[in-house]
Structure 1
Amino acid sequence: MAVLVSLLAFLMTLVGGLAAMKVRDNRHLVLGLAGGLMLGVVAFDLIPESLEMTRHSPFGVPLPMIGFAAGFLLLHVVEQAVAIHRAHEHEYAPHVHAHAHGQGGGGSAGLLAASALVAHSLMDGISIGLGFQSGTEVGIFVALAVIAHDFADGFNTVTAASLNRGDRRPAVALLFADALAPIAGAALGTLVKVPDAVLGPYLGLFAGVLLYLSAAEILPEAHSVHPRVMTLAATGLGLTAVLFIVGLAG
Structure 2
Amino acid sequence: MILFITILGTAVGIIGTGLGGLAALFIVKPSSRFIGVLLGITSGIMLSIVTFDLLPESYNISGLATEILGICLGVLTVVLVEGFFPVVNNSKPPYNSKTSFLKTGLLLGVAIGIHNLPEGLAIGSGYMLTSKMGITMALVIALHNFPEGLAMAMPLRLSGTSAFKIVFFTFLAGIPTGIGAFIGAILGGLSDFFIALCLAFAGGTMLYITCGEMIPSAKALHKGRASAIGIALGFIIGLIISIKL
User: TM-score scaled to structure 2, two decimals?
Assistant: 0.68
What residue identity is the alignment partner of 2:232? G
The corresponding residue for 1:64 is: 67
Task: Give, in whole Å, the separation in 2 of the partners of 1:174 and 1:124.
Answer: 22
SS in 1 for 2:225: helix
Q: Which among 30, 40, 44 is matched to residue 52 of structure 2?
A: 44
Question: CA 1:108/1:102 → structure 2, altered by over 3 Å: closer, same or farther?
Answer: closer
**How far off its partner does 1:13 sit?**
7.0
Asked if the contact 2:43–2:215 (Cα under 8 Å) also holds between the matched residues in 1, the reply is yes
Task: Give, in whole Å, the separation in 1 of the partners of 2:133 and 2:3.
Answer: 15
The corresponding residue for 1:172 is: 171
SS in 2 for 1:157: helix
**How far off its partner does 1:224 sit?**
0.8
Taking the TM superposition and a 5 Å limit, the aligned residue runs for 1:109-120 are 109-120=111-122
SS in 1 for 2:220: coil
- Are 1:228 and 2:229 an aligned pair? no
Task: Give, in whole Å, the separation in 1 of the partners of 2:36 and 2:236.
Answer: 18
Q: Identify which range, 78-87 or 8-17, moves more after superposition.
A: 8-17
Asked if the contact 2:41–2:231 (Cα under 8 Å) also holds between the matched residues in 1, the reply is yes
**How far off its partner does 1:196 sit?**
0.9
Taking the TM superposition and a 5 Å limit, the aligned residue runs for 1:1-250 are 16-17=16-17, 20-21=20-21, 22=23, 25=30, 26-55=34-63, 62-84=65-87, 85=89, 102=103, 105=107, 108-127=110-129, 142-160=130-148, 166=155, 168=166, 169-175=168-174, 178=177, 193-249=189-245
Asked if the contact 1:149–1:245 (Cα under 8 Å) also holds between the matched residues in 2, the reply is no
Task: Give, in whole Å, the separation in 1 of the partners of 2:240 and 2:65.
Answer: 27
Equivalent residue pairs, number:
218
Task: Give, in whole Å, the separation in 2 of the partners of 1:232 and 1:45.
Answer: 22
Structure in which a larger fraction of residues adopt helix = 2
**How far off its partner does 1:113 sit?**
1.6
Task: Give, in whole Å, the separation in 2 of the partners of 1:71 and 1:7.
Answer: 24
Q: Identify which range, 5-14 or 171-180, moves more after superposition.
A: 5-14
Question: CA 1:221/1:4 → structure 2, altered by over 3 Å: closer, same or farther?
Answer: closer
Q: Identify which range, 210-219 or 78-87, moves more after superposition.
A: 78-87
Asked if the contact 1:70–1:205 (Cα under 8 Å) also holds between the matched residues in 2, the reply is yes
**How far off its partner does 1:178 sit?**
4.1
SS in 2 for 1:122: helix
What residue identity is the alignment partner of 1:243? L
Question: CA 1:69/1:109 → structure 2, altered by over 3 Å: closer, same or farther?
Answer: farther
Task: Give, in whole Å, the separation in 1 of the partners of 2:230 and 2:206.
Answer: 18
Asked if the contact 1:33–1:234 (Cα under 8 Å) also holds between the matched residues in 2, the reply is yes
What residue identity is the alignment partner of 2:143? F
